[in-house]
Structure 1
Amino acid sequence: MTTLLHFQMQDGDWVKGKTNNDELFHGYIESIHHEEGIVKVRVIQSDNRLSIGKISDSTPDRLRPLETPPLEQEGHIRNWIDIALSTKDEAWFMELTNALRQTQKKDGEKLVS
Protein backbone atom coordinates (compact mmCIF):
# COMPACT_ATOMS: atom_id res chain seq x y z
CA MET A 1 0.00 0.00 0.00
CA THR A 2 2.95 2.36 0.52
CA THR A 3 3.44 2.54 -3.25
CA LEU A 4 0.32 4.70 -3.53
CA LEU A 5 1.61 7.21 -1.00
CA HIS A 6 4.15 8.48 -3.53
CA PHE A 7 2.06 7.83 -6.64
CA GLN A 8 2.09 11.12 -8.54
CA MET A 9 -0.22 10.23 -11.42
CA GLN A 10 -3.90 11.05 -11.62
CA ASP A 11 -7.03 10.15 -13.57
CA GLY A 12 -6.57 10.83 -17.27
CA ASP A 13 -2.77 10.52 -17.29
CA TRP A 14 -1.32 8.47 -20.15
CA VAL A 15 0.75 5.52 -18.98
CA LYS A 16 2.57 2.46 -20.21
CA GLY A 17 3.29 -0.67 -18.26
CA LYS A 18 2.04 -4.14 -17.46
CA THR A 19 -1.32 -5.32 -16.24
CA ASN A 20 -1.66 -7.68 -13.30
CA ASN A 21 -1.76 -10.43 -15.97
CA ASP A 22 1.68 -9.35 -17.34
CA GLU A 23 0.26 -7.86 -20.55
CA LEU A 24 2.18 -4.89 -21.98
CA PHE A 25 -0.01 -1.88 -22.71
CA HIS A 26 -0.37 1.84 -23.37
CA GLY A 27 -3.45 3.60 -22.07
CA TYR A 28 -4.80 6.17 -19.70
CA ILE A 29 -5.78 6.04 -16.05
CA GLU A 30 -9.53 5.68 -15.53
CA SER A 31 -9.41 5.55 -11.74
CA ILE A 32 -7.11 5.02 -8.79
CA HIS A 33 -8.24 2.91 -5.84
CA HIS A 34 -5.93 3.91 -2.99
CA GLU A 35 -7.43 1.51 -0.46
CA GLU A 36 -6.83 -1.50 -2.70
CA GLY A 37 -3.56 -0.33 -4.27
CA ILE A 38 -5.06 -0.75 -7.76
CA VAL A 39 -4.97 1.53 -10.78
CA LYS A 40 -7.60 0.96 -13.47
CA VAL A 41 -6.29 1.73 -16.96
CA ARG A 42 -8.21 2.00 -20.26
CA VAL A 43 -6.01 0.04 -22.67
CA ILE A 44 -5.43 1.65 -26.08
CA GLN A 45 -2.57 -0.58 -27.29
CA SER A 46 -1.51 -3.96 -25.95
CA ASP A 47 0.31 -7.16 -26.79
CA ASN A 48 -3.02 -8.86 -26.02
CA ARG A 49 -5.41 -7.64 -28.71
CA LEU A 50 -8.40 -8.74 -26.63
CA SER A 51 -7.50 -6.14 -23.96
CA ILE A 52 -7.64 -3.17 -26.33
CA GLY A 53 -10.49 -0.85 -25.42
CA LYS A 54 -11.08 -2.52 -22.07
CA ILE A 55 -10.16 -1.52 -18.54
CA SER A 56 -7.34 -3.49 -16.94
CA ASP A 57 -5.96 -3.49 -13.42
CA SER A 58 -2.37 -2.66 -12.60
CA THR A 59 -0.36 -1.50 -9.63
CA PRO A 60 1.55 1.79 -9.41
CA ASP A 61 4.94 0.07 -9.43
CA ARG A 62 4.12 -1.43 -12.86
CA LEU A 63 3.23 1.92 -14.48
CA ARG A 64 5.34 4.63 -16.08
CA PRO A 65 4.25 7.93 -17.62
CA LEU A 66 3.83 7.68 -21.37
CA GLU A 67 6.01 10.29 -23.03
CA THR A 68 4.05 12.07 -25.71
CA PRO A 69 5.78 13.55 -28.72
CA PRO A 70 5.48 17.31 -29.13
CA LEU A 71 2.57 18.50 -31.24
CA GLU A 72 4.80 19.96 -33.92
CA GLN A 73 4.61 17.33 -36.63
CA GLU A 74 1.44 16.63 -38.57
CA GLY A 75 1.89 12.86 -38.38
CA HIS A 76 2.09 12.88 -34.57
CA ILE A 77 -0.99 15.06 -34.30
CA ARG A 78 -2.95 12.80 -36.64
CA ASN A 79 -2.03 9.76 -34.52
CA TRP A 80 -3.28 11.51 -31.37
CA ILE A 81 -6.47 12.53 -33.20
CA ASP A 82 -7.10 8.84 -33.95
CA ILE A 83 -6.71 8.06 -30.24
CA ALA A 84 -9.01 10.94 -29.26
CA LEU A 85 -11.63 9.57 -31.64
CA SER A 86 -11.28 6.03 -30.33
CA THR A 87 -11.66 7.26 -26.73
CA LYS A 88 -14.53 9.60 -27.69
CA ASP A 89 -12.78 12.54 -26.02
CA GLU A 90 -14.41 15.47 -27.80
CA ALA A 91 -12.52 18.23 -25.98
CA TRP A 92 -9.15 16.62 -26.73
CA PHE A 93 -10.20 16.02 -30.34
CA MET A 94 -11.02 19.71 -30.74
CA GLU A 95 -7.71 20.73 -29.17
CA LEU A 96 -5.80 18.40 -31.50
CA THR A 97 -7.62 19.47 -34.66
CA ASN A 98 -6.82 23.08 -33.76
CA ALA A 99 -3.14 22.13 -33.31
CA LEU A 100 -3.26 20.35 -36.68
CA ARG A 101 -4.66 23.46 -38.40
CA GLN A 102 -1.94 25.61 -36.81
CA THR A 103 0.78 23.17 -37.90
CA GLN A 104 -0.58 23.02 -41.44
CA LYS A 105 -0.75 26.82 -41.55
CA LYS A 106 2.90 27.10 -40.41
CA ASP A 107 3.99 24.45 -42.93
CA GLY A 108 2.14 26.32 -45.70
CA GLU A 109 3.87 29.55 -44.77
CA LYS A 110 7.25 27.80 -44.88
CA LEU A 111 6.53 26.53 -48.41
CA VAL A 112 5.64 30.02 -49.63
CA SER A 113 8.69 31.71 -48.10
Structure 2
Amino acid sequence: MLSNNDFPKLETGDWVKGNLHTGELIIGYIESLSSLEGIAKVKIVTSDNKDINGRTIALLTNQLKRLPAANVSNKEQILFLIDLALATGDEEWFKELSAKLNSMTQLLKEVNA
Protein backbone atom coordinates (compact mmCIF):
# COMPACT_ATOMS: atom_id res chain seq x y z
CA MET A 1 0.00 0.00 0.00
CA LEU A 2 1.27 3.47 -0.89
CA SER A 3 1.41 6.21 1.70
CA ASN A 4 0.81 9.93 1.11
CA ASN A 5 4.60 10.38 1.12
CA ASP A 6 4.84 8.36 -2.10
CA PHE A 7 3.07 11.10 -4.10
CA PRO A 8 4.30 14.60 -4.84
CA LYS A 9 2.93 17.21 -2.46
CA LEU A 10 0.50 19.20 -4.54
CA GLU A 11 -1.24 22.40 -3.53
CA THR A 12 -4.18 24.42 -4.77
CA GLY A 13 -2.95 26.70 -7.55
CA ASP A 14 -0.13 24.41 -8.69
CA TRP A 15 0.28 24.01 -12.43
CA VAL A 16 0.27 20.33 -13.30
CA LYS A 17 0.45 17.94 -16.20
CA GLY A 18 -0.79 14.42 -16.44
CA ASN A 19 -2.47 11.81 -18.54
CA LEU A 20 -6.10 10.80 -18.47
CA HIS A 21 -6.95 7.11 -18.22
CA THR A 22 -7.63 7.29 -21.98
CA GLY A 23 -4.07 8.53 -22.58
CA GLU A 24 -4.66 12.19 -23.43
CA LEU A 25 -2.11 14.66 -22.07
CA ILE A 26 -3.54 17.51 -19.97
CA ILE A 27 -2.00 20.70 -18.61
CA GLY A 28 -3.85 22.84 -16.10
CA TYR A 29 -3.92 24.10 -12.55
CA ILE A 30 -5.39 22.72 -9.35
CA GLU A 31 -8.58 24.48 -8.29
CA SER A 32 -9.17 22.33 -5.22
CA LEU A 33 -7.54 19.39 -3.55
CA SER A 34 -8.65 16.58 -1.28
CA SER A 35 -5.41 15.12 0.03
CA LEU A 36 -7.26 12.55 2.16
CA GLU A 37 -8.96 11.11 -0.92
CA GLY A 38 -6.00 11.80 -3.23
CA ILE A 39 -8.18 13.73 -5.68
CA ALA A 40 -7.46 17.07 -7.33
CA LYS A 41 -9.95 19.13 -9.32
CA VAL A 42 -7.93 20.47 -12.24
CA LYS A 43 -8.93 23.31 -14.57
CA ILE A 44 -7.76 22.07 -17.98
CA VAL A 45 -5.98 24.81 -19.94
CA THR A 46 -4.79 22.60 -22.78
CA SER A 47 -5.19 18.96 -23.72
CA ASP A 48 -4.86 16.54 -26.59
CA ASN A 49 -8.65 16.29 -26.25
CA LYS A 50 -9.78 19.80 -27.25
CA ASP A 51 -13.31 19.08 -25.96
CA ILE A 52 -12.15 19.29 -22.34
CA ASN A 53 -10.16 22.52 -22.63
CA GLY A 54 -11.56 25.00 -20.12
CA ARG A 55 -13.34 22.33 -18.07
CA THR A 56 -12.62 21.30 -14.51
CA ILE A 57 -12.14 17.57 -14.01
CA ALA A 58 -11.30 15.41 -11.01
CA LEU A 59 -8.07 13.43 -11.25
CA LEU A 60 -6.16 11.24 -8.85
CA THR A 61 -3.12 13.08 -7.53
CA ASN A 62 -0.90 10.17 -8.55
CA GLN A 63 -1.86 10.93 -12.18
CA LEU A 64 -0.38 14.44 -11.88
CA LYS A 65 3.07 15.94 -11.89
CA ARG A 66 3.70 19.49 -10.71
CA LEU A 67 5.19 21.72 -13.38
CA PRO A 68 8.24 23.75 -12.37
CA ALA A 69 7.71 27.43 -11.65
CA ALA A 70 8.45 29.61 -14.63
CA ASN A 71 11.60 31.67 -14.37
CA VAL A 72 10.48 34.74 -16.30
CA SER A 73 13.34 36.88 -17.53
CA ASN A 74 12.02 39.14 -20.27
CA LYS A 75 9.12 41.40 -21.15
CA GLU A 76 7.70 39.10 -23.84
CA GLN A 77 7.46 36.19 -21.40
CA ILE A 78 5.71 38.36 -18.82
CA LEU A 79 3.25 39.66 -21.43
CA PHE A 80 2.47 36.08 -22.49
CA LEU A 81 1.91 35.04 -18.87
CA ILE A 82 -0.31 38.09 -18.28
CA ASP A 83 -2.45 36.95 -21.21
CA LEU A 84 -2.58 33.47 -19.69
CA ALA A 85 -3.56 34.89 -16.29
CA LEU A 86 -6.37 36.85 -17.95
CA ALA A 87 -7.52 33.81 -19.91
CA THR A 88 -7.65 31.68 -16.76
CA GLY A 89 -9.21 34.42 -14.61
CA ASP A 90 -6.36 34.36 -12.08
CA GLU A 91 -6.54 37.91 -10.69
CA GLU A 92 -3.81 37.45 -8.07
CA TRP A 93 -1.34 36.11 -10.66
CA PHE A 94 -2.29 38.92 -13.05
CA LYS A 95 -1.52 41.51 -10.37
CA GLU A 96 1.79 39.81 -9.51
CA LEU A 97 2.86 39.73 -13.17
CA SER A 98 1.73 43.31 -13.78
CA ALA A 99 3.78 44.49 -10.82
CA LYS A 100 6.81 42.62 -12.17
CA LEU A 101 6.30 44.20 -15.61
CA ASN A 102 5.96 47.66 -14.06
CA SER A 103 9.15 47.24 -12.02
CA MET A 104 11.02 46.08 -15.15
CA THR A 105 9.75 49.11 -17.07
CA GLN A 106 10.75 51.44 -14.23
CA LEU A 107 14.22 49.89 -14.05
CA LEU A 108 14.69 50.40 -17.80
CA LYS A 109 13.65 54.04 -17.49
CA GLU A 110 16.16 54.59 -14.69
CA VAL A 111 18.97 52.89 -16.63
CA ASN A 112 18.24 54.88 -19.79
CA ALA A 113 17.86 58.23 -17.97
Q: TM-score range by the shorter chain?
A: 0.7 to 0.9
The RMSD of aligned alpha carbons is 2.2
Specify the alignment match of 2:44 in structure 1: 43
Partner secondary structure for residue 2 of structure 1: coil
Specify the alignment match of 1:95 in structure 2: 96
Deviations 1:60-109 (A, max 9, x none): 22211112321321122112111211121222211111111122333445
- The verdict on how the C-alpha distance between 1:59 and 1:76 changes in structure 2, with shifts beyond 3 A counting, is same
Q: Give unpaired runs (5+ residues) of structure 2.
A: none
Partner secondary structure for residue 89 of structure 2: coil
Post-superposition offset of 1:24: 0.8
Post-superposition offset of 1:18: 1.4
Q: Which amino acid aligns with 1:32?
A: L
Distance (whole Å) between structure 2 residues aligned to residue 64 and residue 104 of structure 1: 34
Q: Kindly report which structure 2 residues correspond to 1:14-93, keeping only aligned pairs within 5 A, or say none.
A: 14-93=15-94
TM-score, with length taken from structure 1: 0.80
Specify the alignment match of 2:2 in structure 1: 2
- The verdict on how the C-alpha distance between 1:23 and 1:57 changes in structure 2, with shifts beyond 3 A counting, is farther
State the identity %: 36
Q: Give unpaired runs (5+ residues) of structure 1.
A: none
Distance (whole Å) between structure 1 residues aligned to residue 58 and residue 45 of structure 2: 14
Number of aligned residue pairs: give it.
111
